[in-house]
C-alpha cells in the first residue's frame, strides 16, 4: 500500500501513463491479462521437464500435438508471443497495396499489416462501436461491409480476413458461430483466406455456449474446434487463454505457407521448433491448453469479470455492455463528459484510478488508436475506454470488491477531474510510451 501523495508523484513521474509505472508501486494490477496469469502446479511441473535441445525438443512435439487436438490445425510454428505470429503471417500474405479487413483493429495486428504494406479495413458490425448496444455478438463481421470491400477493390487485393475472437478493443465481445460460418462461406466464394486471432477464442467459445442455443450442451473444447474449422490459420498470444507468462504461435493448414513461415521464423524468432521460447515455456503452454478448455475454469474466469461488472452497474457506473470476457471497460466519455477527446478522457481516468487506489488499468481510446498513416492526424475512435483487465487465477473476490469501491470513489468526484496534454509521443504503438502533463 502506498499513500495518495506517493501515487500522485509516481503517476506524474510516469507521464500519466500507466505503462510507465513501476509494478512495485501498484496495489492491484489490472493493466492486462497478458502473461500475468498464475500457472498451475501441473504447468510448473512441466517447466521442470524442459527439453532444452536447440532442435527437435520433446516439448515442441507435445505442443504441436495439443494444438492439433484442440485447435485442429495441421502445422505449428511457435513464436515468442502473439505479435511474432502476426509478423510472420503479414509478411507472407500481404503485398504492398493490399487490403486486410477485420472485426475492429487491434494495435499490434494492424501495425504488422501496415508494415507489410497493407491497409486495415474495419468491417465489424456498427453495434460494436456503441458501448450501450446490448447485441449479444458485438464481435460479428458485417457481411455487407465485407462484400462491398471485395467488390470495390477486387478479391485479388484482399490478402485475407482477420477474425478476432473475442474482440479486445470492442470490450472483449464475442463473435457467433453463425457469423464465422457466414464469413467462411462468403470468403470461400472469392478464394480469400480467413486468419483467426485465437488469443481469447476459448473465452469466445464460452459465450457461444451461453448465447447460441445450438451449442448449449456442447463443451467449450468442441466449440473451439468448430470455430477454428472455419479458418485457414490462427495467430495466438498464449499469454492470455493459455495461462502462461510468455509464448505464442502461428498454426495453419496450408503446406506452402507453412514452409514459408517455418523458414521466416528462423530469421526473426529462432529455430522452427522453438520460435524464441525455451523448451520449458513450450511445455507450460502445451499443458495450459488442456486446463484452459475446461468448462469449469472458463466459467469461473468469466464469472469473476461478470461479478465486478454487475456490481459497477448496480451503482450506476457507465461500462461497456454486455460485460466482456477478459475485462470491464469503463466508458470514459460518459464517465468524464466534461473532457474533449483531445483532453484524453480514458488516459485521464486511468491515471485518476491509480491515484485514488493504486489500481493500474489501461487506456483504450484515442491514444491507443494512434494516427492515420497517410494524413498523420489522430484517429478518433468512437470508443474511449478504460480497461480493467483480470489476470486468470490471480485475484480474489475481496480484491474485486476493493476495485469496485475505488471506481465508485473516482466517480463521486468526477466533476473535479481535469484532462491531460500530450508532451511526448513515440512513432510506433504510441500508447506504451507516450507522456502527458495535467492541464
Per CB under 6 A, residues contacting ligand P70 are: 32, 34, 81-83, 106-109, 164, 168, 197, 199, 237, 239, 248
> At its nearest, how many Å lie between ligand P70 and the CB of residue 144?
24
Q: Report the alpha-carbon distance of residue 12 to residue 19 in Å, rounded.
A: 12
| 79 φ/ψ angles, rounded to the nearest 5 degrees | -140, 165
User: For residue 263, how many other CB atoms are within 10 A of its CB?
Assistant: 13
For cell 470495390, name the residue.
Answer: 152
Residue 59 or 237 having the CB closest to ligand P70: 237
> At its nearest, how many Å lie between ligand P70 and the CB of residue 284?
15
Q: Report the alpha-carbon distance of residue 217 to residue 238 in Å, rounded.
A: 27
CB 330 within 8 A of CB 407: yes
Residue 83 or 287 having the CB closest to ligand P70: 83
CB 169 within 8 A of CB 364: yes
Q: Which residue is nearest to ligand P70 (CB)?
A: 82
> At its nearest, how many Å lie between ligand P70 and the CB of residue 307?
21
Residue 168 or 173 having the CB closest to ligand P70: 168
Query: What DSSP string describes 396-413?
Result: -HHHHHHHHHHHHHHHHT
| 54 is a catalytic site residue | yes
CB 259 within 8 A of CB 250: no
Residue 32 or 140 having the CB closest to ligand P70: 32
| 181 is a catalytic site residue | no
DSSP 104: S
**Which one is catalytic: 16, 71, 99, 106?**
106
Residue 82 or 101 having the CB closest to ligand P70: 82
> At its nearest, how many Å lie between ligand P70 and the CB of residue 217?
28
Q: Report the alpha-carbon distance of residue 286 to residue 222 in Å, rounded.
A: 18
Q: Of 264, 198, 247, 267, which Cα lies nearest the Cα of 78?
A: 247
CB 214 within 8 A of CB 177: yes
**Which one is catalytic: 18, 32, 107, 119?**
107
CB 226 within 8 A of CB 176: no
User: For residue 405, how many other CB atoms are within 10 A of its CB?
Assistant: 13
> At its nearest, how many Å lie between ligand P70 and the CB of residue 417?
24
| 105 is a catalytic site residue | no
> At its nearest, how many Å lie between ligand P70 and the CB of residue 93?
17
| Pairing of the two strands 233-237 and 420-424 | unpaired
Q: Report the alpha-carbon distance of residue 174 to residue 392 in Å, rounded.
A: 18
CB 43 within 8 A of CB 240: no
Residue 164 or 339 having the CB closest to ligand P70: 164
> At its nearest, how many Å lie between ligand P70 and the CB of residue 247?
8
DSSP 379: P
Cis? peptide before 326, omega within 30° of 0: no
**Which one is catalytic: 138, 193, 239, 240?**
240
CB 305 within 8 A of CB 327: yes
Burial class (CB in 10 A: 0-12, 13-18, 19+), 16: buried
Residue 16 or 106 having the CB closest to ligand P70: 106
| 60 is a catalytic site residue | no
DSSP 124: B
Q: Report the alpha-carbon distance of residue 17 to residue 12 in Å, rounded.
A: 9
Residue 142 or 197 having the CB closest to ligand P70: 197
| 420 φ/ψ angles, rounded to the nearest 5 degrees | -125, 160
**Which one is catalytic: 70, 329, 431, 436?**
431
**Which one is catalytic: 29, 33, 142, 197?**
197
| 431 is a catalytic site residue | yes
H/E stretch holding 113:
helix 107-115
Residue 29 or 352 having the CB closest to ligand P70: 29
> At its nearest, how many Å lie between ligand P70 and the CB of residue 358?
19
| 390 is a catalytic site residue | no
| 364 is a catalytic site residue | yes
> At its nearest, how many Å lie between ligand P70 and the CB of residue 83?
3
Catalytic residues: 54, 106-107, 197, 240, 364, 431
Amino acid at each position: 500500500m502506498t499513500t495518495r501523495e506517493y501515487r500522485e508523484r509516481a503517476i506524474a513521474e510516469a507521464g500519466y501513463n500507466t505503462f510507465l509505472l513501476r509494478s512495485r508501486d501498484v496495489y492491484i494490477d489490472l493493466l492486462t491479462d497478458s502473461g500475468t496469469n498464475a500457472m498451475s502446479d501441473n504447468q510448473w511441473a512441466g517447466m521442470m521437464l524442459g527439453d532444452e535441445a536447440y532442435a527437435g525438443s520433446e516439448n515442441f512435439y507435445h505442443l504441436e500435438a495439443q494444438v492439433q487436438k484442440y485447435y485442429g490445425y495441421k502445422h505449428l510454428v511457435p513464436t515468442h508471443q502473439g505479435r511474432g505470429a502476426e509478423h510472420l503471417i503479414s509478411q507472407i500474405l500481404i503485398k504492398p497495396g493490399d487490403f486486410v479487413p477485420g472485426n475492429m483493429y487491434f494495435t499490434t495486428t494492424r501495425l504488422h499489416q501496415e508494415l507489410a504494406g497493407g491497409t486495415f479495413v474495419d468491417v465489424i458490425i456498427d453495434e460494436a462501436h456503441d458501448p450501450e448496444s446490448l447485441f449479444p455478438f458485438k464481435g460479428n463481421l458485417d457481411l455487407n461491409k465485407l462484400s462491398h470491400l471485395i467488390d470495390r477493390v477486387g478479391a485479388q487485393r484482399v490478402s485475407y480476413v482477420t477474425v478476432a475472437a473475442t474482440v479486445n478493443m470492442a470490450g472483449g465481445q464475442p463473435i457467433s458461430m453463425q457469423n464465422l460460418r457466414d464469413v467462411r462461406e462468403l470468403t470461400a466464394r472469392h478464394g480469400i483466406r480467413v486468419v483467426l486471432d485465437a488469443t481469447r477464442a476459448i473465452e469466445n467459445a464460452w459465450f457461444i455456449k451461453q448465447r447460441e442455443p445450438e451449442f448449449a450442451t456442447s463443451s467449450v473444447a468442441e466449440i473451439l474446434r468448430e470455430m477454428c474449422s472455419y479458418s485457414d490459420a490462427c495467430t495466438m498470444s498464449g499469454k492470455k487463454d493459455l495461462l502462461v507468462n510468455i509464448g505464442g504461435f502461428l498454426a495453419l493448414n496450408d503446406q506452402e505457407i507453412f514452409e514459408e513461415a517455418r523458414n521466416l521464423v528462423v530469421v526473426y524468432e529462432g529455430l522452427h521448433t522453438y520460435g524464441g521460447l525455451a523448451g520449458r515455456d513450450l511445455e507450460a503452454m502445451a499443458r495450459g491448453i488442456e486446463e484452459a478448455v475446461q468448462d469449469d475454469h472458463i466459467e469461473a474466469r468469466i464469472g469473476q469479470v461478470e461479478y465486478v461488472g454487475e456490481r459497477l452497474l448496480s451503482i450506476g457506473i457507465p461500462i461497456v455492455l454486455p460485460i466482456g470476457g477478459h475485462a470491464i471497460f469503463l466508458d470514459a466519455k460518459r464517465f468524464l463528459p466534461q473532457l474533449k477527446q483531445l483532453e484524453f478522457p480514458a488516459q485521464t481516468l486511468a491515471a485518476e484510478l491509480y491515484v485514488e487506489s493504486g489500481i493500474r488499468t489501461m487506456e483504450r481510446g484515442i491514444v491507443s488508436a494512434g494516427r492515420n498513416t497517410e494524413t498523420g492526424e489522430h484517429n478518433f475512435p468512437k470508443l474511449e475506454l478504460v480497461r480493467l483487465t483480470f489476470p486468470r487465477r490471480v485475484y480474489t473476490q475481496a480484491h474485486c470488491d476493493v476495485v469496485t469501491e475505488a471506481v465508485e470513489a473516482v466517480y463521486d468526484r468526477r466533476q473535479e477531474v481535469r484532462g491531460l496534454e500530450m508532451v511526448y509521443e513515440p512513432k510506433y504503438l504510441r500508447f506504451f510510451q507516450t507522456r502527458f502533463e495535467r492541464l
